Amino acid sequence: MRLYWRQTRRGQRLVIGDEDQESEQEIGGVRETKSGFDAFAKTFGYEPGRSEKGIPTMDEAKAFVESFRPWELYEGTEGIELEATVLPFEA
């Protein structure tokens, strides 16, 4: 199991996936807007505090998402470490 950020057209998505990258699950994301960055961390219920708009920097927005540790909602992610490299955009 892998945990990594993947580049998108307007931001980045936090993803868990298997080693061969055939199966990916988006668990959070950051999107650039005119007023800063919007960030969200996925959940299985209604938790409005897991998203925020207008965060000043990409790094702060990513830290916001990571602070919720959304990967812990999935089995097999115990002890998983976030990869340092952001994977490139895939069309």
Q: What is the pLDDT of residues 43-55, one digit of tens each?
A: 988 888 999 999 9
Query: What pLDDT, on a 0 to 100 scale, did the predictor assign at position 91?
Result: 65
Tell me if 24 is assigned to some domain.
yes
For 16-33, the pLDDT digits (tens) are 988 776 788 999 999 999
Q: What pTM, to 2 d.p., does this model score?
A: 0.91
Contacts for 20 with CB less than 8 Å, ≥ 6 apart? none
Which range of residues forms the domain containing residue 56?
2-73
Split into its structural domains, the chain has a count of 1
For residue 49, give the nearest of 34, 32, 67 by alpha carbon: 67
- Residue 39 domain flag: yes
Residue 31 lies in a domain: yes
In a domain? residue 84: no
Q: Is residue 89 part of a domain?
A: no
Which is nearest to 40 in space by CA: 73, 64, 8, 69? Answer: 64
What residues have CB less than 8 Å from 63, skipping those under 6 apart? none
Q: Does 90 reside within a domain?
A: no
